[in-house]
Structure formats: structure tokens, C-alpha cells
Amino acid sequence: MRSRAAALASAAALFALGAAPDAGSGAPLPERMADTGGGGQLITAEAARTGSTTGTVTWWDRRGGRWAEAGSAPARFGAKGLVAGGSRKQGTNTTPTGLYGLPYAFGISARPTGAAYPYRRVTPDSWWCQDNRSRAYNRWTEPRPADCRAAESEHLGTYDPQYAHALVVGFNYDRPVRGRGAGIFLHVNGRGATAGCVSVPREAMRRILRWAEPGRHPHIAIGTESGPTALTRY
């Protein structure tokens, strides 16, 4: 029988490798994570490694004390791969890893039938401000304020099909740090890798919006299969 000290050392070693110490390797991914946001729903966006531009988005429900997969789809990440959210720099075409809330959804197209998540419809005056000098940095603005340069922002209605439907990812959102990045979303696929967002096929995005329940406080965890940015380290 192992001593308590040996058991603790073994658990610490597992955690250092990116695995939660109290879950078997065959357990569903959220069961192996240290933190899933405290809600009853979770989206995981997993890439093989930080240099990857593709991976898998899976959405999960927690019922009866267990996590169960509700759906999955192929995903795309930033053209320059993934990077730890806390050290990300704006304009690097990298997707920030980490665990984030999902403040609300939006879209050029109407809310999918049956979807209950807070949803904002894009209009011709809808912008996402990414200007580091603006008071509206990393916020939806309508119309675009004078201190937010158009060249440093996204005119949301011009991103079709990407913003046909999207979920705002709460990266750098609550207390924005200038220069870290703005406008990170889970959205519909474009032609290839993203500028830092996570994207999925259009029908998958519609399925996610119909699945998401605001009262169950869904979060999104973005990361890799192993290493310092492994999803199991959250």
C-alpha cells in the first residue's frame, strides 16, 4: 500500500502532465479538467498542439453529476496557432487558450429557431471596436464612436458567412488589457484559418446556439491535448 506522501507525489506528477489527478484517462474530457466554469454546460475547443490550425469543438451537458457529450464538430483556429491567453498579443493571428464565459450571441442572420441564448442582431451600424486608444475597446458599438478608428475595428455586417451566427468569447472582456486582443468569437467557418477566433461549420454553430441554455451558464475552454496549454490543466 502506498504512503499518503507517495500518493500525493503521484497526483502532482499527473497534474503537471496536464491531467486532473482524480479522473481516469478514459473519463470524458470535462471530468479530467480542474475547472469547467461552475455551470452545467461546457464547450471544449481542442487542438493537437499550439501550432495547429484545426481541431475539434465539443459541447457537453452535466446532468446527474456527470458530463456527457451533446455534439461535436471540426474546428479551425488562428492562422498562427494557439497561445496562452495571458500572454497573447493583439494582431498575432493566434487563438487564446483558457477558460472563458460566453456573454452573448450575435449574428447577421436571425436567431436560430429554438435558441434561447441572449442574441443580438447585426445591423449596418454594428462594429466591434479593436482600437487600443478607444474607450470602447473590445466592445460592440453601434454606431462606431469617434474615438474608435474604422481601420482598427470590425464592421460586423461585412463578415458573412463568419458572423452569420457567433458567440462572444469572454477573453480580455471584463477588464480589457490594451494590446492583448479584442473580438474573439466562436463563429461560422470562413475560407480557412481564423485571425484568432474559433470557427465551426454553419450548421454546427446553429446547433450550439439551440443547445446553449443561459440558466446553465455555459463556458468555453480552449486548449491543446497536452503540454502547458492542455485543456486538462484548467
Dihedral (CA of 221, 223, 225, 229) sign? negative
Per-residue model confidence as pLDDT tens digits over 111-155: 999 999 999 999 999 999 999 999 999 999 999 999 999 999 999
Looking at the chain, how many residues does it have? 234
pLDDT confidence of residue 2: 36
Contact, 200 vs 73, CB < 8 A?
yes
Per-residue model confidence as pLDDT tens digits over 9-46: 433 443 344 444 445 568 999 999 999 999 999 999 99
Q: Is the pLDDT of residue 7 over 50?
A: no
- Grid cell 497561445 in the structure block, residue: 83
* H or E element in which residue 204 lies: helix 202-211
**Is pTM, for the whole model, over 0.85?**
yes
pLDDT confidence of residue 179: 98
Nearest CA to 171 among 228, 221, 111, 211? 221
Share of the chain above pLDDT 90, in %: 88
The model's confidence at residue 214, banded by pLDDT at 50, 70 and 90, is very high
Contact, 188 vs 163, CB < 8 A?
yes
Contact, 232 vs 19, CB < 8 A?
yes
DSSP state of 22: T
pLDDT confidence of residue 24: 57
Pairing of strands 66-76, 54-63: antiparallel
